[in-house]
Amino acid sequence: MSPTPEVPANSPFTLHNIPFGVISTSSNTTPRCASAIGDHAIDLGILFQKAEPDIMLGKPAPYQDFEQVFRKQTLNAFAGLPSDLRSNVRRFILDSLLNNTVPFEAFLPLDTVRMHMPMQIGGYSDFFCSLEHCQNCSPMTGGNIPKNFYYSPSVYNGRASSVVVSPDPIRRPKGVMYDTGGKEGNPIYGASLKMDFELEMGFFVSKPVPWGQSLDIEKARDHIFGFVVLNDWSSRDLQAYEMTPLGPFHSKGFATSISPWIVTLEALEPFACEPKHNHDSTTFEHLRWHDRAKGTFDIRLTAKLIRNGITYDLVESNLRYMYWTPYQQIVHHAAGGCGLKTGDLLGTGTISGEKQGELGCLYEATRDGNSKLQFDDGSELGYLEDGDEIILEAWCGDGEGGRATIGFGHSRGKLLPSI
């Protein structure tokens, strides 16, 4: 056994967090499940090899061999377990840390591990659920806010094959666009010239929803494993060509980056809060969340740009700004009977606020590149250039009122030239 490592003051991975991810090391290249504390990963296969989970976890039925669950190369087997059983596992990990009973060999410095995709993703869907984002984008696309935005969450199916884990680099895509870069002109094929990021959260499905069935919103919590930071990279010139008649395709389907550590719903419960928007008058009953005080989460998100070794602050927003919340999103997704499987990923959509510094993408913040962001060193930003790196972060709590800070780590990606 080994004393639990001290947690640095600025660490996102505190004792209040206990996130889950998948790691490998140079000495053991096989991916396996882990948690994180401070600057260390915890190899959960080793922890549960030394434990007696049938005693520690109250002999769950059916019995689970947690050593084998956590030696798998994704978290799907764990995420698919009942929520109360996952809660017991999380409590056991926390108690082991508090009681200094984690084996020494289970602690691995984070700077020595490689992070992998935490879940096997069968399906990926991305929402369009920020009223402020919609208000800012509509004038540039030549229309008003669609009436249906106010009645149900808007969503499209993305490409699960293009989801990558931070810090994998991103390749500038090629596709068809108009030679004007906007909605009119002559179609041409080539590398996108209007590369953008989108500041989002993503959340993974835990308990499946069988095909042909819907989901009661009061049970939505049982179907969400946890959250990651998500960057839905976007090509705005390809998107302008594709939006009519069927919407985004290559402009969104080439890459989506997520942070590698999943923060559980249980860790986020102390940060439950009331959503910014109240739209009960237009909300269908199956989408009505009756406990508004706990309808979403107070999660602060930031976006930074690294260009030529210099870091620039771009955005600070909050998940509670969303018009439609994650609970409403997952219920609406299931409402058509498509079914949801363990490991499916849902993106919240761009998270924007009212102010200039709260706009969750460059398309909004620069008015489609026509009003470039100006920085103190005299540089400016319209759209992303090759070599630019985007870093997204998310945090809960400020250390006040007994709500200890937890974080999600980074979703970062560097833009590479097209090939």
Give me the active site residues, please: 133
Structural contact between residues 370 and 192, judged by C-beta atoms closer than 8 angstroms: no
Q: How far apart are CA 75 and CA 54, in angstroms?
A: 20
DSSP string, 146-158: PGGGGTS-EEEE-
The encoded tokens of residue 395 equal 């945090």
Structural contact between residues 33 and 75, judged by C-beta atoms closer than 8 angstroms: yes
Smallest CA-to-CA distance from 113 within 43, 16, 13, 50 is with: 43
DSSP string, 91-155: HHHHHHHHTT-S-GGGEEEGGGEEEE-SS--S-EEEEE--HHHHHHHGGGGTSPPPGGGGTS-EE
Q: How far apart are CA 398 and CA 372, in angstroms?
A: 32
Structural contact between residues 398 and 406, judged by C-beta atoms closer than 8 angstroms: no
383-to-175, 234, 238, 247, 361 alpha-carbon distances in Å: 17, 11, 14, 21, 10
